[in-house]
Amino acid sequence: MKRYLFLLLLGSLSLLIVTDARAKNQKAEVPAVFRNARFVYVQAYNGDAFNPHVIPDDRQAIYDVQQALKTWNRYSIVYQRDQADLVFSVRKGRVASVTPGVEVGIGRQPRNRNPSQPDQTRGADSTAVGVDAEAGPPDDLLSIYMAAPSDAPLWSHSLKGGLDAPDLPLLQRIKHEVDTAYPK
C-alpha cells in the first residue's frame, strides 16, 4: 500500500514538473512585431485627432494613449501614419453616436474608413450637409495593427472603461503582455 502511494505521489510530482516546463516553453501571446517595432501612431477608428468626424471622447482617448505610451518608453510616437511600425486604434465605448456636420472640400474626400488602412482620397470639389451616425459596442476598444494595410488586427481587446485615464486598463494589458513576452 505504501508503495502505491509513493508511486502515485512520484507520478503527480513528475506531471507537475512536465506541465510547468510546457507552460514556460509556450509561444508568446503577442507577435514578434511588438518586440521589433519602434514607432507607433495612435488614431481613432474613424480618423486621427484632427479629423472633424472624431468625437471628443475618442480624441481624448488618442491623447491619453499617446501620453501613456510616452510613459511606457518602449515605443516612440509618430504623427504621420506612414512613419509608424504599429497603429493603435482606439474607440471609446458607446452604443450609438450622431454627429451633425457641414463639409466643404476642394480636391479631397475620404473614401475608405478601415482603421487599418490609410485614407484613400479622390479628387473632387464638394459641399455637403449631413449627419454621421455610428453604432457599436458599449465597451472601450483598443486594436493594434501593422502600419502596412491589414484587415486583421495583431491584438484587439475591449473592456468597459478600458480607455479611462489615468489607468487605461487596455493599454496596461498590452504593456504587460509585451513586457512579459519580450523583456527589454
Q: What is the pLDDT of residues 60-102, one digit of tens each?
A: 999 999 999 999 999 999 999 999 999 999 999 986 555 555 5
CA atoms of 76 and 92, how far apart (whole Å) = 23
Q: Work out the angle at residue 22's Cα, subtended by the Cα atoms of residues 20 and 26, and round it to the nearest 5 degrees.
A: 120
Pair 111, 122: CB distance under 8 Å: yes
CA atoms of 100 and 97, how far apart (whole Å) = 10
pTM: 0.68
pLDDT value, residue 94: 86
> What is the rounded end-to-end Cα distance, in angstroms, of the chain?
52
- CATH class assigned to 27-94+136-181: alpha beta
- Taking 80 as the threshold, does the pLDDT of residue 3 lie above it? no
145: Cα separation from own chain's centroid: 7
* Domain edges within the chain: 27-94+136-181
- Taking 80 as the threshold, does the pLDDT of residue 8 lie above it? no
C-alpha grid cell for residue 95? 452604443
E strands, the chain, are 39-44, 76-77, 86-91, 96-105, 109-110, 121-122, 126-135, 140-146, 155-159
Q: Give the confidence band of 144 by pLDDT, cuts at 50, 70, 90.
A: very high
Q: What is the pLDDT of residues 14-39, one digit of tens each?
A: 444 444 444 444 455 899 999 999 99
Q: What is the mean pLDDT of the chain?
A: 79
CA atoms of 35 and 163, how far apart (whole Å) = 23
